[in-house]
């Protein structure tokens, strides 16, 4: 990149210049947009010809030969003169297709190319995201399986609670991601084509072209829809497809953002405890002032971008609410930003999260130490029950354990030393009948319930079947440039 170039003299969206993948950046590019417009004009001309309008093979061939050679400078100059982006590109296309000029955009309104192209971009955007989400889930599933029976402190209110396992906690993340997978797939599959509907959705211009033949107008809609790769079109539209479609699409992405934020917040909390860390490069610097730091910068990036993704949902909600009657143009500028940015943002958080999940580092000894500091308190009920079985009185035992627990808690909180409850129990002659049972009573694996079994069943029943359609696309390893 030329450091003296114009690109450094103006704002560039970090979503494209810094983060998002080439395929998602291309999906919302001008090249993809305007070549898709041209393809739609070709679909329309082919369908109109098939149904009897006087359009020649030569005209269609001429259009097909010039799909990709978009003169962006000419189009920009035309738009400056005409103040209309679609007509600017009609003129630009007609310039290189003079024979086809009379039939380009025949009977159509601007939203024929605008809205239909947006729907194609949404569909293709989901097709980029779904395999990436599958990759993240696959990596997390392997992680959960590997650590299915490794005990770790569970937390409620971010206070130590009963034990769980590292793998079971990963399944909590996976459960949310399985819901996101279904949401994205549903939003993608629910998309329909706007089709060939005319200026206010009545198809009046096409009915006139076909001299009142309703069947031909319906077949025209069906043919163009099929050529664009959609199974259905919306049966009724205004000038645009309903902007609630945008809500559905961006709602699925915003919900994914909430999941990723939760997952990465958990990873950041665990990094503070030094139990789990995201991958850290050999030469990576955590802090310019503190050389020892290993900041969870990838998880932080995911949280930062996830907030943006969640916030973008407000745009389509408000846009849909203010579309007066058949449509108003105050949707256009907003959608140029909110639709691409949502997909670009979802794209980078999934790539980043895949990088994190491929390199998560677990520190079992740290986890064990944290368990050791808390488990004696959690085991008090087990100790009481063992004493009762050995002939003790529950109330007497409870009182002795209560006093010893308070003393041990004071050592931990006031003196900053390790939990010595177990030593106090061993030193108290009252507990002599169960001294030889204490190690078994304090085995962490006896406190994790059915967590390993839950992990195994969840992965086999809920996760693996969802990933099956993407198995050929999950060998991609992510290398983050920044």
Q: Are 259 and 176 in contact (CB under 8 A)?
A: yes
Which single residue is written with the structure tokens 């329909």?
A: 192
- Cα–Cα distance, 21 to 13 (Å, whole number): 13
> Tokens at residue 290, please?
């503190």
- Cα–Cα distance, 135 to 400 (Å, whole number): 53
Task: Find the largest Cα–Cα distance for the chain.
Answer: 105
* H runs (alpha helix) in 147-196: 166-190
Which among 478, 455, 459, 477 has a CA at the least distance from the CA of 468?
459
Phi, psi (deg, nearest 5) at residue 435: -55, -40
Query: Could you say which of 4, 73, 157, 288 is catalytic?
Result: 157
- How many alpha carbons lie under 13 Å from residue 353 in its C-beta half-sphere? 35
CB neighbours (10 Å) of residue 229? 10
> Which string of DSSP letters, residue by residue, matches 12-64?
--HIIIIIS-HHHHHHTSHHHHHHHHHHHHHHHHHHHHHTT-S--HHHHHHHH
The verdict on whether 287 is a catalytic residue reads yes
Query: Could you say which of 17, 56, 214, 287 is catalytic?
Result: 287
CB neighbours (10 Å) of residue 457? 12
Q: Which residues form the catalytic set?
A: 157, 287
């Amino acid at each position: 990149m030329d450091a003296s170039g114009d690109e450094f003299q103006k704002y560039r969206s970090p979503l494209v210049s810094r983060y998002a993948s080439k395929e998602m950046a291309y999906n919302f590019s001008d090249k993809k947009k305007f070549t898709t417009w041209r393809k739609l004009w070709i679909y329309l001309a082919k369908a109109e010809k098939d149904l009897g309008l006087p359009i020649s093979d030569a005209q269609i061939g001429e259009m097909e030969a010039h799909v990709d050679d978009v003169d962006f400078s000419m189009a920009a100059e035309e738009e400056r003169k005409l103040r209309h982006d679609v007509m600017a590109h009609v003129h630009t296309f007609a310039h290189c297709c003079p024979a086809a000029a009379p039939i380009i955009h025949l009977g159509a309104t601007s939203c024929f190319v605008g809205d239909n192209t947006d729907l194609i971009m949404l569909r293709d955007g989901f097709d980029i995201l779904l395999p990436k989400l599958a990759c993240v889930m696959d990596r997390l599933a392997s992680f959960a399986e590997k650590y299915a029976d490794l005990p770790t402190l569970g937390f409620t209110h971010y206070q130590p609670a009963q034990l769980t396992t590292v793998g079971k906690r990963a399944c909590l993340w996976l459960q949310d991601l399985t819901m996101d997978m279904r949401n994205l797939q549903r939003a993608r599959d629910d998309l329909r084509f706007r089709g060939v509907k005319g200026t206010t959705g009545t198809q009046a211009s096409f009915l006139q072209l076909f001299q009142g033949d309703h069947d031909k107008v319906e077949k025209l809609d069906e043919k163009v829809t099929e050529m664009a790769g959609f199974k259905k079109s919306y049966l009724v539209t205004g000038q645009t497809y309903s902007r609630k479609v945008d809500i559905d699409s961006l709602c699925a992405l915003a919900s994914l953002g909430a999941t990723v934020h939760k997952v990465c917040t958990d990873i950041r909390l665990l990094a503070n405890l030094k139990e789990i860390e995201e991958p850290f490069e050999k030469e990576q610097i955590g802090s310019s002032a503190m050389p020892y730091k290993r900041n969870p910068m990838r998880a932080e990036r995911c949280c930062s971008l996830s907030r943006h993704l969640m916030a973008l949902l407000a745009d389509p909600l408000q846009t849909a609410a203010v579309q007066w009657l058949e449509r108003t143009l105050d949707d256009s500028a907003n959608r140029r930003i909110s639709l691409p940015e949502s997909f670009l943002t979802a794209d980078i958080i999934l790539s980043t999260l895949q990088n994190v999940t491929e390199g998560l580092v677990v520190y079992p000894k740290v986890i064990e130490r944290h368990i050791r500091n808390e488990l004696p308190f959690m085991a008090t009920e087990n100790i009481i029950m063992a004493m009762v079985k050995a002939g003790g009185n529950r109330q007497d035992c409870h009182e002795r354990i209560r006093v010893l627990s308070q003393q041990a808690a004071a050592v931990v909180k006031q003196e900053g030393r390790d939990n010595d409850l177990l030593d106090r129990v061993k030193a108290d002659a009252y507990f002599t009948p169960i001294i030889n049972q204490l190690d078994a009573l304090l085995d962490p694996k006896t406190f994790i319930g059915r967590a390993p079994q839950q992990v195994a069943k969840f992965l086999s029943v809920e996760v693996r079947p969802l990933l099956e359609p993407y198995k050929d696309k999950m060998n991609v390893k992510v290398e983050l440039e920044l």
